[in-house]
Chains A and B, each alone.
Chain A
Amino acid sequence: MLRTEINELLTQTGPGTRMGDLFRRYWMPALLAEELPDDDCAPVRVKILSERLVAFRDSQGRYGLVDEFCAHRGVSLWFGRNEDSGLRCAYHGWKYDYTGQCVEVPSEPETGNFAANVKLRSYPLVKVGDVLWTYLGDPEHQPPLPEWEFVRVPGEQTYTSKRWQECNWLQALEGGIDSSHVTFLHSGNLNTDPLFKGSKGNEYNKNDVKPFFEVAENEGGLLIGARRNAEEGHYYWRVTPWVMPNFTMVPPRGDHPVHGHFWVPIDDENCWVYTFDYHPVRALTTAEVDAMKAGLGVHNENIPGTYRPVANKDNDYLMDRDAQRRGEMYSGIKGIAIQDSSLQESMGPIVDRTKERLVATDAGIIKARQRLRKAALALAEQGTPPPGLAPEHQRIRSASIVLPADQSMLDGVRDAVVARPGVAQTTV
């Protein structure tokens, strides 16, 4: 349970809010690189942290992320013409370069300096891996570029998709931290999904449906361990890292690619879920990439030409009661991603956390909220930079491992949760 003020503190990320200021300390995914595939391609509207922006790639391949609305009379620049190294407003032809600087005002004398005094708010937009990243904060505090392994491995080893989720970022993120739902909601997928099936770990999963949990502090966030019985005197651990504020990873299964998520606020009632899958030491196979593109594993199928899931609110997520009855899908909804989004969206756009009845197994969520709250307040009150900014906080991996019963999770996974180039993931 949270008091109303704390729920508001954690869920509001617009300009001038405390959680918004916290988010504005990090590089965040703004688009997939595929959304701006070519020089002078169509501009894309981007809403992030409640700011409306437009992204474009100019004639020289430079990425711009600027205020969506023209400084002249507020027309959306999405309608503009992206040509000759700038984005030209369709209304009266004012033209802006990738930094938001106005470079041409056709109605004004060419020799005047009117244009030089017009500049749209703009943010850096940088391609790292398959993602275009932005930083919406004070340039003075801009951290080093993202170091997440999924964007740092060679291109053929990684795949990222994205989907729109119609609820606040925090309730989506909490699904990524809450390991205790996996045994229920996603129980149908372990045997059948080509991106999960066949691992030894799956057997431990199925043989012990009442895991124990260990929530351990980690520098950039938390490590959440779910522990099940393995062979005599041993435990099977699945370790989920959360790095502040909105990055989580799923523990691996066998030699399947490792996956995780970025939960990025669009505004307070919507978020983008970036879903990645990568293998630290080998190229993804064609079959794997095809399965990911088809929406298997933790990915989903989108309406062609959009990032809205085919199964969404408007069609009751294509609920299949027969499959639910047959036990193929615990909730009757296909695919892990939509199993999660359907339930999280059903909580309402911003869930009222004053009404929840948490139990002790929600400790991961309780702790994550506490760390977010403390970090936001420390930033607001003392200017303390939040955790998760340092490159070493981002060089992290999930892990699954069998450890002797008397070994501590933290000791047992210390090396396994560090992303090291050329070293395979620790997985069972």
Chain B
Amino acid sequence: MARPVLLNSCARAATAAEARFRIGYPLVPSRATRVVALDDVAASAVRAVAGHAWHHSRFYLLGSPDGLHLERVGSGESVPLAPELDGVDAVVMVAGTADGASAAATIGASCTVRGVMTAGLVLDDDETRDALAALRPYARVLMVPADVEDLVELLRAIRA
């Protein structure tokens, strides 16, 4: 085995003292994230979270049951789905019931085509099980049951 010649030329350098020399640079501030409420139960959760300070996240309700149109939380503006997914890193779908099943399918398929990561949050509700079944095929990651705080936590963690 070759002998290390410098302190940092072997794994031994992973000390607390050495860690101070890791290159520090400003983090890329944010990731473009889209959060969509798929039903009425989810709408109130998404509205609540939209009020926090976020970087490049946008929050929507369904503009049409098939998910081809979205309504932006805040402005109430109605927008077609496809352009809203341009340049996006992740889409988080939030469901409390199975009402949004066909919208989840549309959004999920659009994300797959574009290579956008999908996540799903299933709110704790009487219809959790149905909501879960509706989301499962389209969300790469599901959190169940989840609440408003989980949504905030997830978005913070991924720097949304």
Task: Using CB atoms and an 8 Å cutoff, list the residues of chain A in contact with chain B.
Answer: 1-2, 166, 212-217, 269, 313-318, 342, 345-350, 352, 355, 357-363, 366-367, 370, 405-406, 408, 410-411
**CA of A342 to CA of B14, assembled, Å:** 10
Given contacts A315-B1, A370-B150, contact A217 B144 (CB under 8 A): yes
Residue in chain A with minimal CB distance to B33 = A360
Contacts of B132 in A (CB 8 A): 408
- Rounded to whole Å, the gap between the CB of A250 and the closest CB of chain B is 20
Do most interface residues of chain A lie in helix, strand or loop, or is the interface mixed? Answer: mixed
Whether B159 sits at the interface, judged by CB under 8 Å, is: yes
Whether B109 sits at the interface, judged by CB under 8 Å, is: no
Question: Can you list 30 A-B pairs, Cβ within 8 angstroms, ordered by A?
Answer: A1-B159, A2-B157, A212-B136, A212-B141, A214-B141, A215-B144, A313-B11, A313-B14, A314-B10, A345-B11, A346-B11, A346-B14, A347-B14, A348-B14, A349-B15, A355-B27, A357-B28, A357-B158, A358-B157, A359-B90, A359-B117, A359-B158, A360-B92, A360-B140, A360-B141, A361-B117, A362-B157, A363-B141, A366-B153, A410-B144
**CA of A391 to CA of B154, assembled, Å:** 31
**CA of A360 to CA of B118, assembled, Å:** 8
**CA of A285 to CA of B74, assembled, Å:** 64
Whether B19 sits at the interface, judged by CB under 8 Å, is: yes
Complex contact A408–B159 (CB within 8 A): no
Contacts of A349 in B (CB 8 A): 14-16, 19
Contacts of B68 in A (CB 8 A): none
Given contacts A215-B142, A349-B16, A349-B19, contact A342 B11 (CB under 8 A): yes
Complex contact A408–B133 (CB within 8 A): yes
Contacts of A405 in B (CB 8 A): 137
**CA of A352 to CA of B27, assembled, Å:** 13
Complex contact A358–B141 (CB within 8 A): no
Given contacts A213-B142, A349-B14, contact A406 B19 (CB under 8 A): no
Given contacts A212-B141, A360-B90, A360-B158, contact A269 B14 (CB under 8 A): no
**CA of A216 to CA of B136, assembled, Å:** 13
Residue in chain A with minimal CB distance to B18 = A348
- Rounded to whole Å, the gap between the CB of A416 and the closest CB of chain B is 17
Task: Using CB atoms and an 8 Å cutoff, list the residues of chain B in contact with chain A.
Answer: 1, 10-12, 14-16, 18-19, 22, 27-28, 90, 92, 117-119, 129, 132-133, 136-137, 139-145, 149-150, 153-154, 156-159
Contacts of B92 in A (CB 8 A): 360
Seed contacts A212-B142, A214-B136, A349-B16; 9 additional CB < 8 Å A-B pairs: A2-B157, A215-B143, A314-B10, A346-B11, A352-B19, A357-B27, A357-B28, A360-B90, A361-B140
**CA of A347 to CA of B129, assembled, Å:** 39
- Rounded to whole Å, the gap between the CB of A179 and the closest CB of chain B is 11
**CA of A341 to CA of B118, assembled, Å:** 30
Contacts of A1 in B (CB 8 A): 156-159
Complex contact A216–B159 (CB within 8 A): no
Contacts of B158 in A (CB 8 A): 1, 357-360, 362
- Rounded to whole Å, the gap between the CB of A33 and the closest CB of chain B is 32
- Rounded to whole Å, the gap between the CB of B96 and the closest CB of chain A is 15
Do most interface residues of chain B lie in helix, strand or loop, or is the interface mixed? Answer: mixed
B150 contact from A314, A316, A367, Cβ within 8 A: A367
Given contacts A215-B144, A408-B132, contact A314 B12 (CB under 8 A): yes
**CA of A269 to CA of B133, assembled, Å:** 43
Contacts of A216 in B (CB 8 A): 144-145
Contacts of B1 in A (CB 8 A): 315-316, 318
Contacts of A366 in B (CB 8 A): 153-154, 157
B140 contact from A213, A269, A350, Cβ within 8 A: A213
Contacts of A362 in B (CB 8 A): 157-158
Given contacts A212-B141, A213-B140, contact A357 B159 (CB under 8 A): yes
Residue in chain B with minimal CB distance to A269 = B16
Given contacts A313-B12, A315-B1, A345-B11, contact A213 B141 (CB under 8 A): yes
**CA of A358 to CA of B157, assembled, Å:** 6
Complex contact B16–A348 (CB within 8 A): yes
Given contacts A1-B159, A315-B1, contact A360 B144 (CB under 8 A): no
Q: Which of B1, B11, B119, B159 has the most CB of A within 10 A?
A: B11
Complex contact A360–B119 (CB within 8 A): yes
Complex contact A360–B154 (CB within 8 A): yes
**CA of A361 to CA of B142, assembled, Å:** 9
**CA of A5 to CA of B19, assembled, Å:** 18
Complex contact B11–A361 (CB within 8 A): no
Residue in chain B with minimal CB distance to A167 = B14
Q: Which 6 A-B pairs have the closest CB atoms?
A: A348-B19, A360-B119, A366-B157, A214-B142, A213-B141, A313-B11
- Rounded to whole Å, the gap between the CB of B109 and the closest CB of chain A is 15
- Rounded to whole Å, the gap between the CB of A236 and the closest CB of chain B is 14
Q: Which of A318, A347, A366 has the most CB of B within 10 A?
A: A366
B11 contact from A316, A357, A363, A411, Cβ within 8 A: A316
Contacts of A361 in B (CB 8 A): 117, 140-141
- Rounded to whole Å, the gap between the CB of A104 and the closest CB of chain B is 42
Complex contact A345–B144 (CB within 8 A): no
- Rounded to whole Å, the gap between the CB of B107 and the closest CB of chain A is 14
Complex contact A214–B144 (CB within 8 A): yes
